[in-house]
Amino acid sequence: MSLPALAQTVGVLIRDYRFEPAVIEIRVGQTVKWTNGEKRTSHSIFFQGPSGFESDRLFPGESWERVFDKPGTYLYTCGPHPEMTGKVIVTE
């Protein structure tokens, strides 16, 4: 029995100061693509923790991708708007 092919890239839309969906679950090797759907506000993707880093600022219409090649739970916020939170759960 073969498994259905997984979409390689999963999208998260940034809109109204929220990540939609805020929580996503993916498999190792998949890519998450964040797209800024705001009219005028810029945002970033800021991962917490010792290996944390922040994406460039995304202006409206821009997007940014990250490949997740290790299982785990990745918490993130928006750099300029720390009240915006999201989570990527990566499973084997």
- What DSSP character marks residue 58? B
How many residues of this chain bind Cu ion (CB under 5 A)? 3
Closest by CA position to 11, among listed 3, 20, 2 = 20
> Which single residue is written with the structure tokens 């073969």?
2
Rule CB under 5 A: say whether 78 interacts with Cu ion: yes
Alpha carbon distances (Å) from 19 to 40, 45, 66, 77: 16, 10, 15, 9
| Min CB(4)–Cu ion separation in Å | 34
Residues 6-45 vs Cu ion: string with x where CB under 5 A? -------------------------------------x--
| Min CB(50)–Cu ion separation in Å | 23
Q: Which of 30/44 has CB closer to Cu ion?
A: 44
Among 33, 57, 66, 81, contact with Cu ion (rule: CB under 5 A): 81
Distance separating the N- and C-terminal Cα atoms of the chain = 19
Q: Which residues bind to Cu ion, rule: CB under 5 A?
A: 43, 78, 81
